Amino acid sequence: MINDQYYRRRYVISGIAIVIVCMYIVRLFYLQVIDKSTAGQADSNALVKQTIYPSRGLIYDRNGELLVFNQPIYEITLTMRDMGKEWDTIAFCRCLNIQRKEFDERIQEIKDKRKNRGYSRWTPQVFMNQLKKEDIATLQESLFQFPGVQIQKRTLRDYTYKAAAHVLGSVGEVNQNDIDRDDYYARGDYSGRDGLERTYEKQLRGDKGVEVLMRDSKGRMQGSYQNGELDRTAKAGTDLYTTLDIRLQLLAEELLCGKIGSAVAIEPHTGEILALASNPGWNPKVLVGKERSKNYIALLQDKSKPLMNRATQATYSPGSTFKTIQSLVCLEQGAITPNTLYPCSGPGSSPIKCTHHHGSPVALDRAIEQSCNPYFWCAFRDLLQKDGYGKDNEAFRHRYALWREAVMSFGMGQKFTDSDIGEQSSGSIPSINLYDKYYGKTGWKAITIRSLSIGQGEILVTPLQLANQAATIANEGYYISPHLNKNDSMRIHRHNLDIAKRHFEVVKEGMGRVMIYGTGRHFAVDSLHMAGKTGTVQNPHGRDHAIFIGFAPLEDPQIAVAVVVENAGFGATWACPIASMMIEQYLTGEVKRKDLRKRIGESVLNESVKKW
């Protein structure tokens, strides 16, 4: 009889053999069917997939003026697997006019998988990019001498005008985070880094194409694989039509030259941004090509902060321009009527003094015209104290909450989150919690926060919010979120204020008087019925800031403007004439006041502003 011990061992050995065979089968199935990486390496022996890059979409202004277009550039890629021992490195460097040391450093960087996670010796790797035609001319003639080298055509951004850099944005090379976040990108690709280029990146970038080429056992190209059945045509990016009026943008930037500040213009009925200027700025061409990195670092280190879009990111107290909102809120909440009179003792007024003598008492329209500080303090006080202070200050604090909510309904103290403007600051309309923190629930009264009545204190807004404020008043009670894409209907982004239309008529009348009898009278355009409000904002770090908001024509507003000039003094001296000329340019097609344009445009208020 067979020994039972050896008989049973036969089954154990057979089982082990079966398990090993099954493991091989499973592994082969995984490698050939599930895991595509090895298949890709195998294909690379015979096939070369060459990416065809699409042209980026063009950018136009509202009138069809071309703002951003493309120019051809080239990049050189190397497939390490095809670079044999006989590959002439010295001759290759001579063709590109580079040193051997630079060649070695670039190769080392390509092979560093910490920096280049997608490295494979089987696939083309970017060696040099952003080259002009003359840079590759010599190499192109000798390309047959260098197996594994390809010259790929790309495009680079170019600009018609040296303007609107903050708005348009720039295009730069993607980083690893971009690649990890979106599989569209690979090392050496470009994407929008800021401005409209970033906001509308997916629309502008288009779709990549691919050309599959076949090569023989010696690595020589044999033409298209399967007659191009696997090829895919690149699809150009979609053009973008903006709301900008480039003529108005150019004028705004010209008038801000030598100054630190910003100017924003909006078409009130649509919320379309006509101009969005910030100074200091830069020529958008300096962030293009091989000099981009060096120039970006220089811009970043510039103490005047040119990379900051002051129109949307800088925050200021609105000063006397806030009196228009204060008027509307006090009217709607029943603290005053158009005929309410308050006394003014000029510079001798207390607790808030007026800047000048203008007669007393005054009603609302003349208070706006003369920018009477005591009037708006009294109106604010009466609003907050309308129901008394109540137990534990609750009645007063409730009134303040209603006031704050009404102010914020103008878009103040918050970002326009339903807009396509990427870089924004929210500003601040101070909350109850802020004052409770500093004074306790019962420790603050109307007198404590009296500076808010004239747009000072803790109120902070952006120039974009100021322009939207002007547009809201022009529309008599609504605004459409400011935006930059002309083709994107924003009509559904309408914000209606809970303020009666009749109140806006009173305030508009007062703003019209500013341009006839008040601080704006010297810069009114004869042929236009304008409305405006100047502001001179206290600045703890230097001279006062000059601010102006306005719109025209008064009867049917077509443009609303806000201008801020930092450390410039009176709003009527600097901000008002800039806004006035912008309105004149947009509504009449030209600025007839040539002397004024020259004086403002050539005046340098800040020597530190560098031209880029």
Residue labelled with tokens 């879009």: 309
How high is the pLDDT of residue 26?
A: 73
Q: Which of 549 and 113 is assigned the larger pLDDT? A: 549
User: Cis peptide leading into 351, omega within 30 of 0?
Assistant: yes
Average pLDDT over residues 132-157: 85
Per DSSP, 207 falls in state B
Residues in contact with 45: Cβ distance below 8 Å, sequence separation at least 6, in sequence order: none
Give the tens place of pLDDT for each residue, 268-311.
Answer: 999 999 999 999 999 999 998 878 889 999 999 999 999 999 99
Q: Which of 151 and 229 is assigned the larger pLDDT? A: 151
Tokens of 265: 């213009």
Q: What kind and span of H or E run contains 286? A: none
Could you give the C-alpha distances from 181 to 135, 176, 184, 186, 368, in angstroms and in order?
33, 9, 9, 11, 53
Residues in contact with 85: Cβ distance below 8 Å, sequence separation at least 6, in sequence order: none
Query: Where is mean pLDDT largest: 91-100, 122-131, 209-218?
Result: 91-100
Residues in contact with 509: Cβ distance below 8 Å, sequence separation at least 6, in sequence order: 365
Q: Helix-strand-coil percent breakdown of the chain, rounded to 5?
A: 40, 20, 40
Distance in angstroms (rounded) separating the CA atoms of residues 518 and 234? 60
Q: In the predicted model, is pLDDT for residue 560 greater than 60?
A: yes
Distance in angstroms (rounded) separating the CA atoms of residues 94 and 577? 59
CB distance 461 to 427 below 8 Å: yes
Residue-by-residue DSSP string for 289-346: GGGHHHHHHHHHH-TT-TTS-HHHH--B--GGGGHHHHHHHHHHTTS--TT--B---G
Q: In the predicted model, is pLDDT for residue 38 greater than 70?
A: no
How high is the pLDDT of residue 223?
A: 64
Q: In the predicted model, is pLDDT for residue 113 greater than 90?
A: no
Q: In the predicted model, is pLDDT for residue 574 greater than 70?
A: yes
Average pLDDT over residues 330-336: 96
How high is the pLDDT of residue 222?
A: 57
Q: In the predicted model, is pLDDT for residue 41 greater than 60?
A: no
Distance in angstroms (rounded) separating the CA atoms of residues 371 and 206? 53
How high is the pLDDT of residue 221?
A: 56
Per DSSP, 32 falls in state I
Give the tens place of pLDDT for each residue, 381-414.
Answer: 999 999 999 999 999 999 999 999 999 999 999 9
In sequence order, the β-bridge partners of residue 69 are 158
Q: What is the pTM of this model?
A: 0.86
Confidence of residue 159 (pLDDT cuts 50, 70, 90): very high
- Average per-residue pLDDT in the chain? 89
How high is the pLDDT of residue 493?
A: 86
Neighbours of 103 (CB within 10 A): 17
Confidence of residue 17 (pLDDT cuts 50, 70, 90): confident
| Type of residue numbered 567 | N
The three-state secondary structure class of 61 is: coil
212 burial type by CB count under 10 A (0-12 exposed, 13-18 middle, 19+ buried): middle
Confidence of residue 355 (pLDDT cuts 50, 70, 90): confident
CB distance 529 to 555 below 8 Å: yes
Confidence of residue 492 (pLDDT cuts 50, 70, 90): confident
User: Cis peptide leading into 280, omega within 30 of 0?
Assistant: yes
Q: In the predicted model, is pLDDT for residue 70 greater than 70?
A: yes
CB distance 216 to 45 below 8 Å: no
Average pLDDT over residues 548-554: 97
Range from 68-77, 464-473, 485-494 carrying the lowest mean pLDDT: 485-494
User: Cis peptide leading into 430, omega within 30 of 0?
Assistant: no
Tokens of 541: 């770090």
| Type of residue numbered 423 | E
Confidence of residue 218 (pLDDT cuts 50, 70, 90): low
The three-state secondary structure class of 72 is: strand
How high is the pLDDT of residue 7?
A: 57
Q: In the predicted model, is pLDDT for residue 217 greater than 60?
A: no
Among 576, 522, 523, 531, which residue's Cα sits nearest to residue 552? 531
Percent share of the chain, pLDDT over 70: 92
How high is the pLDDT of residue 306?
A: 94
Q: In the predicted model, is pLDDT for residue 50 greater than 80?
A: no
How high is the pLDDT of residue 461?
A: 97
Percent share of the chain, pLDDT over 90: 62
Round the CA-based radius of gyration of the chain to a whole number and report it.
33
Q: In the predicted model, is pLDDT for residue 489 greater than 70?
A: yes
* β-pair type (209-215, 221-224): antiparallel
Helix axes 432-439 and 394-408, enclosed angle (nearest 10): 140
Order of strands, sheet of 272-279, starting from the edge strand that comes earlier in the sequence: 272-279, 261-267, 559-565, 545-552, 531-537
Q: What kind and span of H or E run contains 223? A: strand 221-224
Confidence of residue 1 (pLDDT cuts 50, 70, 90): very low
Confidence of residue 507 (pLDDT cuts 50, 70, 90): very high
Range from 246-250, 545-549, 606-610 carrying the lowest mean pLDDT: 606-610
How high is the pLDDT of residue 598?
A: 96
Q: What kind and span of H or E run contains 101? A: helix 100-111
Confidence of residue 576 (pLDDT cuts 50, 70, 90): very high
